[in-house]
């Protein structure tokens, strides 16, 4: 019996096989880095921009400008009084005041007689 232990009947050049495997691996890495990586990067950027656009659309106020009530501040009025008179029934007055400040772009919490305020609609 010529082959008594497990051995292939074909001679193997292990070093050559290892070199071929390494060359294929290097070629695969070059293919990925040369063609797929830039495309993947562009795809991620486009998806990020599209996602930011969608979030911006959903973050926009849902009430049009025509539906926002306007109020002329009278002498002696405060934001607290205005908010407590116009807020929804179960809403905290402080939350409604924040809405008034945000929608009108007020830098301080004071209001003056004759000032026109937009009242948010919740």
Per-residue pLDDT of 36-60, as tens digits, reads 778 888 999 998 888 887 777 666 5
Q: Which CA distances in Å does 89 have to 41, 61, 63, 100, 117?
A: 50, 21, 19, 16, 20
Q: Is the pLDDT of residue 67 over 80?
A: no
CB 97 within 8 A of CB 80: yes
Burial of 2 (0-12, 13-18, 19+ CB in 10 A): exposed
Task: Give 58 or 100, the one with higher predicted confidence.
Answer: 100
d(CA 16, CA 18): 5
Q: Sorting pLDDT into bands at 50, 70 and 90, what band is 66?
A: low
Residues whose CB is less than 8 angstroms from the CB of residue 83 and which lie 6 or more positions away in sequence, other chains included: 93, 96, 97, 100
**10 Å Cβ neighbour count for 20?**
11
Q: What is the DSSP letter of 87?
A: S
Average pLDDT, the chain: 82
Q: Is the pLDDT of residue 10 over 80?
A: no
């Amino acid at each position: 019996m010529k082959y008594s232990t497990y051995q292939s009947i074909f001679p193997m050049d292990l070093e050559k096989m290892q070199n071929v495997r390494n060359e294929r691996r290097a070629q695969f890495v070059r293919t990925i880095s040369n063609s797929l990586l830039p495309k993947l990067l562009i795809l991620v950027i486009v998806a990020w921009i599209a996602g930011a656009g969608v979030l911006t659309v959903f973050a926009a106020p849902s009430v049009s400008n025509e539906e926002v009530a306007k109020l002329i501040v009278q002498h002696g009025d405060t934001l607290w009084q205005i908010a407590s008179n116009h807020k929804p029934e179960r809403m905290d007055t402080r939350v409604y005041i924040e809405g008034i400040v945000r929608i009108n772009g007020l830098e301080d919490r004071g209001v003056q007689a004759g000032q026109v305020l937009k009242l948010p609609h919740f």
